[in-house]
Amino acid sequence: MNPMTRPVSAPRASSNGADTAQQLDHLYTQFELALNAGDWAALGALDIQLSEALHRFKQQPLNADTKAALTRLNAFYTTMISEGRKEQARIRLQLSQQEATKQGVMAYLGHHE
């Protein structure tokens, strides 16, 4: 297991809006830590937890703190998507470079036999 990957506690169902905002803030912090660590597995797990939490929270009225926490998470999602696309591009480039190197080695070996 990646040392940066650690189980993340799922937010509890809350009884009031302040608890909901705190739970969303906690998830936001966990998302930040995982993104900064480049821990894509943790980000995936957190995404599932957020989806489950949002499903529970939609049954409740949203106070100003909860709306602010959701707005902050939504803005951070844009950052995460951008970083994910950069990582995809980096991996694509790495794979294409490996393929080019492999083809070069095969050509070299075929030429020197």
Average pLDDT across the chain, whole number = 83
The encoded tokens of residue 80 equal 């995460």
pLDDT digits (tens, 9 = 90+) for 46-82: 999 999 988 988 888 889 999 999 999 999 999 999 9
Q: What is the DSSP string of 72-88?
A: HHHHHHHHHHHHHHHHH
Which residue carries 């709306």 as its tokens? 67
The pTM of the full predicted model, rounded to 2 decimals, is: 0.69
> 30 exposed, middle or buried (CB, 10 Å; 0-12, 13-18, 19+)?
buried
Phi, psi (rounded to 5 degrees) for 5: -85, 120
Residue 79 one-letter amino acid: T
